[in-house]
Amino acid sequence: MSKAVLDINDKPTAGQLVTLSFQHMFAMFGSTILVPQLVGLSPAIALLTSGIATIFFLLITQFKVPAYLGSSFAFISPILIAAGGLDENGASVSPGNAMIGAMAVGIVYGIVSLLIWKTGYKWLMRLLPPIVVAPVIIVIGLGLAGTAVDMAMNVNDAYSFKHFTAALVTLFAAIIFNVYFKNVLSTMPILLGLIVGYIYSAIIGIVDFSPVIEAKMFSLPEFLIPGVDYEFKITSKILLAMVPIVIVTISEHIGHQLVLGKVVNRNYIKDPGLHRSLLGDGLGTFVSAILGGPPKTTYGENIGVLAITRVFSVYVIFGAAVLAILFSFFGKAMALVQTIPTAVLGGISILLFGIIASSGLRMLVENNIDFGNSRNMVISSVILVVGIGGAALRFTESFSIEGMALAAIVGVILNLVLPGRDKKDTLLDE
């Protein structure tokens, strides 16, 4: 393994701090603003809360883990369900409901981290083996496939060739940056794809610049404060739409900590401990929800930047968080983000949602899951059909479990009750 240019606690020069922090901010920028665009929330508040959540994460992990927290793609569908979908203007119908659900997710993270602190992590690994987690990840990606294609092709429910060309240009630009570039640019295919798609869209005349012209140079993000901007009312629908997804996001968190540990040559499961990193992730999500931002997760894009640059300094990550906070108050920039055509978002979503599904397949392959084993075949098959098919258990009009939430719960139950469970089949080597 090559030597670090700047190790975890090394202080960069002022010039290095600015340039390297900007690099990390732009690596996460595309994904972090894409999630709120897809679920009708404010990109500015998503950017602001990503910076705040990252600072909380660094504090909780004792400035030992150089990880950046951005918007989680796993919660796109749950947010839409909890919020009641989007209105005719593309905004969440009841965004407060999604925020309440996100707060609950953060609390669950805290409870799990407390249990890990007291009892260790092995019970969690047995509860969430790859045969459960991987198919649920596939469900998350494929369950959103129809949404991505609809965004790419249709305008007001009618097919548009012009808009679909914008989606394809965006898609292929992102693919080219991801596949053919081997430097830092390869870690930012989403952002660069959006830029290329936006320029093409402007050329063919499907971008409305009036919001940018009308926007102030600096403005406050659109906060969603509980009890002020919405009624704080917890319902079973909100909880059942959002909370079960922690089955996937906790597994995602563990995977990121393992990969990051290999990159920087540390064992983050032991020091500062999985309980601390998980608590940092959960606290970031909770604080984000209080302000009106989407749930958070550690970002693979930024881990990619660390691997390429060999700059592991937590000061750089902290600098990126501060820059994200400052950038969220730049009104004209945020207005520009909101003028991105739906087709461009659809084009990039085709790649992103496909990558999510493919990462589930990769988990199955990397963990040598044997599909000649009828137990594995049954668990994965049921999860896939229940999740993608949109199955629902409706007990009353306001109490139901559906879609990927139901699929995740069914998967965990099947794994626990079916005979022949391999005790070594976990995400971590014990």
The answer to which of 298-302, 314-318, 364-368 has the lowest mean pLDDT is: 298-302
Q: Is residue 422 part of a domain?
A: no
* The predicted structure's pLDDT at residue 398: 67
What integer best gives the mean pLDDT of the chain? 91
Give just the sign of the alpha carbon dihedral 191, 192, 194, 199: positive
Using DSSP's 3-state secondary structure scheme, residue 231 falls into coil
Distance of CA 396 to the CA centre of its chain: 31
Asked if residue 427 belongs to a domain, the reply is no
pLDDT of the residue at 79? 94
In a domain, 47, yes or no: yes
- What's the domain range around 253? 14-417
* Three-class SS state of 297: strand
What's the Cα-to-Cα distance from 64 to each of 116, 318, 319, rounded to whole Å? Answer: 19, 12, 15
> Residue 304 above 90 pLDDT?
no
pLDDT band at 156 (very low <50, low <70, confident <90, very high): confident
Residue 318 covered by a domain? yes
pLDDT at residue number 186: 81
Name the nearest CA neighbour of 235 among 400, 393, 87.
400
Q: Is residue 428 part of a domain?
A: no
What pLDDT is recorded for position 121?
84
Higher pLDDT, 379 or 429: 379
Query: Per-residue pLDDT for 430 more than 60?
Result: no
The answer as to whether 429 is a domain residue is no
Which pLDDT value is given to residue 3?
A: 80
Average pLDDT over residues 187-196: 90
The answer to the question of residue 6 being in a domain is no
- Asked whether residue 333 is assigned to any structural domain, the reply reads yes
CA distance 60 to 240: 28
Separation of alpha carbons 218 and 325, rounded Å? 13
Dihedral-angle region of residue 127 (phi above 0 means left; psi in -120 to 50 means alpha; beta otherwise): alpha
Question: Mean of the pLDDT values across residues 306-333?
Answer: 94
Residue 87: the pLDDT is 86
Tell me the residue ranges of DSSP E strands in 223-359. 296-298
Tens-place pLDDT, residues 263-297: 999 999 999 999 999 999 999 999 999 999 999 99
3-state class of 16 per DSSP? helix
Question: What percentage of residues in the chain have a pLDDT greater than 90?
Answer: 71
The pLDDT score that the predictor gives to residue 424 is 59
Angle at 329 between CA 327 and CA 331, to 5 degrees: 100
Instruction: Tell me whether the omega of the peptide bond preceding residue 221 falls within 30 degrees of 0, making it cis.
Output: no
What total of structural domains would you count in the chain? 1
Residue 397 has pLDDT above 80, yes or no: no
